[in-house]
Structures are given as structure tokens and as C-alpha cells.
Amino acid sequence: MKLKLTTLLMLSLVWAGFAQTNQTITTNGGVPVGDNQNSKTVGEYGPVLLEDIYLVEKLAAFDRERIPERVVHPRGAGASGYFEATKDMSEYTRAVLFSEVGKKTDLAVRFSTVIHGKGSPETARDPRGFAVKFYTEEGNYDIVGNNLPIFFIRDAIKFPDMVHSLKPSPVTNKQDPNRFFDFFSNVPESTHMLTRLYTDLGIPKGYQYMNGSSVHGYKWINKEGKVTYVKYSWVSKQGEKNLTVEEAQEQQGKDWQHATVSLRKDITDKNYPQWDLYVQMIAPEDIHSFDFWPLDATKDWPADQIEKIKIGTMTLNQNPVNYFEQVESIAFSPGALIPGVEPSEDKLLQGRLFSYFDTQRHRLGPNFLQLEVNKPLEEPNNYNSDSWISSGNKRFENPDVNYQPSSKASLKEDPQYKQAETTLTNVTITQKKISKTNDFAQAGDFYRSLSKKQKDNLIKNLKGDLGQVTDKNIQKKMITHFYLADRDFGMRIAKELGFSQKDFMH
């Protein structure tokens, strides 16, 4: 009796044979690691703990792998301009830039490609970084995201491994689909991101023609301390425009720096690019009411379930005068938050809070915030002192006091800026995957939303890379993931790669 293709695809995951090693993974100090897939958290959905020494060591080592270019997002272009609020959101957050209609806030933006190196062509298939630094009167606030609303993984502990698989091989120095599909075939949560990336969204026509997303959810806090979960989306007023593989190849033959050139030219010609900023909100009591975990970075927040509300518009009207000082030296972090915004329990975000600041200290030095492009509007007041290019405590009336508490100290805390309290009861410190993974549903929903032409391009683009994988078991696992997202999706990929039903029978 013939088994259904669904069953055969599922069984192929079990039947696939992969070489295993008996060696145990360890820390740099030689200590055995019990779990290399999940960070330590307070309960299943709680925040990540700083006591996860292995996580910190792994991220810190990863942040220092390449100098001087960024480990990720090395190729980029930037500009500056302003944000104008169009809706008063003070009911939900005390963040000053969203406090009144018409309020303008200066900002700087850096767009980038995530994986490929500093000199790589801007025609490569790659997620695009979309990072915005707001210079507010209460400090600098960064919204650091991508052009796609989701990501490959949900836990920061996997980030170094993911990037290693996508970077060139340490043996051949060539980016190799055999390596990154080997990784993704064992990470089913990546199915949604891969489905989006292999559409034409993977090659934007130009930076001004792509949308943006914070990817993560954050917490907004109002003056009464009430919490609301939020996610940001940038919508290009120029329209979302992308390149097919054929158009990208043609463009690369003409000018592979086209995105940087195009953005600069539009600003020079006073065709100032603009994006509307939208926010989606979830009340804490509703956070568990979806068939997915909203603080899972592999999940989008569907607009038909969670309304998108326009709150302002960004305009870019100034090109950099010195690229190194204004674009290469700009330092972003999702941990650059201001009163009214706090991090959520998102496990990928929690790791990024450490990793981004850490990599900037490595790349630019311990006082990177004293570089002009990174300075806040108001000069910082604290007792950090004596490191490289530090302004230290010499500006204080009594420079002998660089500590607190002190009867002679001139600085004090302001209780109104204390972070909101979070009550945690009946929780256990754990290290495991969340139970509400739902890895395939949104990938299937996205696939079914595509036009026939978009589906055709997706299949063609995936075949181009997945077809280079020599291990048939890896191809089968990827086909299974796509099939679980949508039957037509998986069967079309299987057919394009030359698989038939008997190939899933042993």
C-alpha cells in the first residue's frame, strides 16, 4: 500500500541519516554544555537571565570575530532627517517623541545588508537592516530592525551558529548553500523567514523602496506605569519595489552599488524619501490569546488580528558629509531605550541587548557614545571615567568625587524614571524551547497570499540555492518544512529538485 506523500515527508526526517560525533560541546573553559539551543529564562516565557554564562560567553566571542567591519550588517548606506509625530500616544507611552502631534525629532538612519561583507554587491539576496536613531531630549532611542517583519531564529543562543552557516566556509572561503541549508534544515522555525527571503523581497530595488520592522515586540510604559506590548512597522511612501533575479543580474553588470547611489541621488535631488511609522499594540492580559507567541521573533503580528496605527512620518533630507564619521561610526543597539520604552521578554531581543552594545565597544572602542554621530543631545552625567578618550569627571564642580553615594556628590537619581515593576510568581528557571512554536502556519499563510508570479519566482529562487545542496537528506528536510507550511509549496519544490514519491520511501 502506498503511503501518502505527507507521511513520507514526515518519515524522511526520521530516516535521514547524519554523521554524529561522540564529542561533547564545551565552554571556552572546557566545561560541558548541557543545552546549546535554548537560553536560561525565568519560566517558559520569561526574560533571559544574565547568569547564563555560556550564552554571554558565546555572544561575546561571536561579537569579536571580525575587525574592524561589523560582524553582521557590514555593507550599508546612511542619511539623516527628522521624524514628525502625527498621533499623540501619551496614553500608552511616556516616550517624548510620541507625546504630541506635530512634534519633530532629529534622526539618523543606516540601511544595510545583513550577511555579505563590506565590499559586497547590493544585488545579493540578503535581509536588509533598517536602523533608526532618534535624538530625543531624554536620550537617544534606537529602533533597530530589518526590512522583513520576522527573523530566522527565536533564541539569541543560535545567532552565532546561524551567521557562521551563512558566512563563507572557513575551509573554502566561499558562501555555500550546503552549509546554511544544513543549519536551517535542523531549525524548522526558520521556514517563515526563508519563505519571505526567497521571494523578490530578498533583493530590494533600493533602500528607499523597502519597508521596515522592529521585528521584536517591546513594552511601552505610560506615566502611570501601565504596560502595553508594541511592534513597529515602517511603510515606504515610495512604494515597496524589488528586483527579480534576472533584473538583479542586469543591475549588477551596470552598478552593484546601486542602492547606495540611488538613495544619495534622491536626497541630492530633493526627492526626500519618506516612511510612515505604524505601531501594533497588545495588552498584557491578551498576550497569550493567539495561536503563536507574539514575542517570538519568527512570527509576524497579523494586521487583521492586531490593528496597525499610524503614529508619524520619517523624512530623510540630508546626505552624509563624511561617510566614515556619520555612517560607519554610527552605533545602534536595541538596548538604546528611553523612558517609556522597555524590552520585552523576547528571547532573541534579550540576547541582542547585550550583544549590540558589546560589539560596538569592540568595534569602535569603549567610549563609542562620545563620537559625534552617537552623542545624545544633552551631555551625559555619570561617574564613569578614565577609559580611552573619556571626558570623565573633569566637568564636575568637585572632580575628586567620582562615586556615589557621597555627601559631596552633585548627581542624584530621579525616581520618576525607575523602570516598571514586573511581578513573577510560580516560575522556574528553565532552558528549553517554548511550547507554542507553530513553526509553519504563518509561512503557509504568506505563501498563499502571493500572486502566481510571486510564487513562481519564490520556487525558482529557492531551487537556485537549494539545488546546489549535494546532500539529498538536507534537501528532503527542507522540502518537508515547506510542505508542512503549504502542500503546494512543498510539492512544487520537490518536483523542481527532481524528487518523486518513491524518493521518500526506503
What confidence tens digit (pLDDT) does each residue in 195-231 have? 999 999 999 999 999 999 999 999 999 999 999 999 9
Question: What pLDDT does residue 18 have?
Answer: 47
Question: What pLDDT does residue 6 have?
Answer: 53
Question: What pLDDT does residue 10 have?
Answer: 54
Question: What pLDDT does residue 421 have?
Answer: 75
pLDDT band at 14 (very low <50, low <70, confident <90, very high): very low
Q: Which residue has the higher pLDDT, 16 or 84?
A: 84
Q: What is the DSSP letter of 124?
A: S
Picking from 28-37, 354-363, 387-396, which range would have the lowest pLDDT averaged per residue? 387-396
Question: What pLDDT does residue 391 have?
Answer: 58
Question: What pLDDT does residue 396 have?
Answer: 67
Q: How far apart are CA 239 and CA 401, in angstroms?
A: 55
Half-sphere CA count of 412, side-chain side, radius 13 A: 6
Question: What pLDDT does residue 427 have?
Answer: 85
Check pLDDT > 60 for residue 44: yes
Using CA atoms, how far residue 234 sits from 22, 208, 265, in Å, is: 47, 11, 21
Residue list, annotated binding site: 356
pLDDT band at 3 (very low <50, low <70, confident <90, very high): very low
The one catalytic residue in 38, 73, 216, 362 is 73
Whether 28 is a known active-site residue: answer no
Q: How far apart are CA 155 and CA 435, in angstroms?
A: 14
Q: With contact defined as beta carbons under 8 Å apart, do 370 and 391 qualify? A: yes
% of the chain beyond a pLDDT of 90 = 72
- Give the predicted TM-score (pTM) of the model: 0.89
What ranges make up the beta strands (E) of 201-273? 212-213, 218-221, 227-236
Check pLDDT > 70 for residue 285: yes
Question: What pLDDT does residue 392 have?
Answer: 56
% of the chain beyond a pLDDT of 70 = 92
Question: What pLDDT does residue 7 have?
Answer: 54
Question: What pLDDT does residue 330 have?
Answer: 95
Question: What pLDDT does residue 390 have?
Answer: 62
For residue 479, count other CB atoms closer than 10 A to its CB: 27
What confidence tens digit (pLDDT) does each residue in 399-420 have? 778 777 888 876 777 777 777 6
Mean pLDDT of the chain: 90
Check pLDDT > 70 for residue 24: yes
Question: What pLDDT does residue 356 have?
Answer: 94
Whether 73 is a known active-site residue: answer yes
Question: What pLDDT does residue 425 have?
Answer: 80
> Could you state, in order of their start, the residue ranges of all structural domains in the chain?
5-17+36-376+431-504
The one catalytic residue in 38, 140, 146, 242 is 146
Read off the pLDDT of each residue in 277-294 and give the average, rounded to a whole number.
97
Q: Which of 106, 107, 110, 113 is nearest to 131 (CA)?
A: 110
Read off the pLDDT of each residue in 302-309 and give the average, rounded to a whole number.
97
Residue list, annotated binding site for heme: 356
Check pLDDT > 60 for residue 251: yes
What confidence tens digit (pLDDT) does each residue in 92-139 have? 999 999 999 999 999 999 999 999 888 899 999 999 999 999 999 999
Topology at the third CATH level for domain 5-17+36-376+431-504: Catalase HpII,  Chain A, domain 1 (2.40.180)
Q: Which residue has the higher pLDDT, 468 or 399?
A: 468
